[in-house]
Structure 1
Amino acid sequence: MHYRSMFPDDLFAQLDRFQRDLQQAFDMESSIRGFARGGFPALNVGTTQKSIEMYVFAPGLEPGTIDVQLEQGVLTIAGQRTDDLHSQAQRATVQINERFAGSFRRVLTLPDEVDAESVSAHYRDGVLHISVARRESVQPRRISVH
């Protein structure tokens, strides 16, 4: 359990926060949430016989601000999330800020079997769902025996 003081003048709380920030900056140990750094937005990627399905967990974004590009088998997801607390700096003193804010970019290399012309992306309830179809020539097919 971490001790967090709500009072900014507490020197020990500031040192504790500084130590945690340094540890997180250099900690690449995996956990239940994935890697400690470089993991925003979090991704789930799976495959079906007909497509590659990606779920990008990025709450607090406007769909129009998310940039999704597929070029030569490389999928890039980029955007920016604003920092609500710092934009209201005159009204609020920030005590704890654990939510990611700023620009982000995730890059995934997809297999050669994808059809770059059949990509769809939908954003709903903070989750971006990207579906990339596989080319028909690589999809399994049933061959009837006579």
Structure 2
Amino acid sequence: MVTTLFPTNLFEEFDRLQRELDRLWSGWPAAIRETALDVVYPAINVGRTPEAVEVYAFAPGMDPAKLEVTLEQGVLTIAGERSSPIPENGQVTVYANERFAGKFRRTISLSEDLDPDKVEATYRDGVLRLRIARKAHLQPRRIEIK
């Protein structure tokens, strides 16, 4: 007589165990790079040149028309909504969902030497690039010696 120590459907048992652990540890990060309470989206890089500040927001799969970018009193805001590629008809069982979906708003405080009338925004290959020029009279300049 052979007896098994495993249930007849091992994957259902793993799914049940995962649900129990999720219920037990709700609110804790599921991965080491994940934050416990907030999802920071989109990821950004900010750099500075003598002429401008450049912001790169990584938002793949977005429609640029659905992005809203504002600059007011030195605060840059990037907002929008990213839809989920997973249908919500109840026929798909999701085992992992690491891609952010939903409304987002990201704000960045910038220096006051920027010119809000000289902002360029482009979106290409999932990257939103913003270039905000510094005010001309505040840019470093070389003084010629005569």
Query: With structure 2 as the length reference, what TM-score do the two structures score?
Result: 0.80
Whether the 8 Å CA contact 1:8–1:14 is kept in 2: the answer is: no
* Alignment CA distance shift 1:17-1:43 (3 Å): same
Task: Provide the identity percentage.
Answer: 41
Which whole-Å CA distance do the structure 1 matches of 2:12 and 2:56 have between them?
A: 39
Deviations 1:20-48, CA, capped at 9 Å, x for gaps: 652129x9xxx7x6x72341100100100
CA distance in 2, matches of 1:6, 1:134: 58
1:1-146 to structure 2, matched below 5 A, reads 7=12, 10-18=15-23, 21-24=26-29, 36=35, 37-87=38-88, 89=89, 91-146=91-146
Larger radius of gyration: 2
Question: CA separation in 2, counterparts of 1:50 and 1:82?
Answer: 36
How big is each residue's C-alpha offset from its partner over 1:50-72, in whole Å with a ceiling of 9 and x where there is no partner? Answer: 00000000111101000001112
Q: TM-score, normalised by structure 1?
A: 0.80
Q: Which moved more, 1:13-22 or 1:121-130?
A: 13-22
Structure 1 vs Structure 2 CA RMSD: 2.5
Which segments of 5 or more consecutive residues in structure 1 lack a partner in the other structure?
none
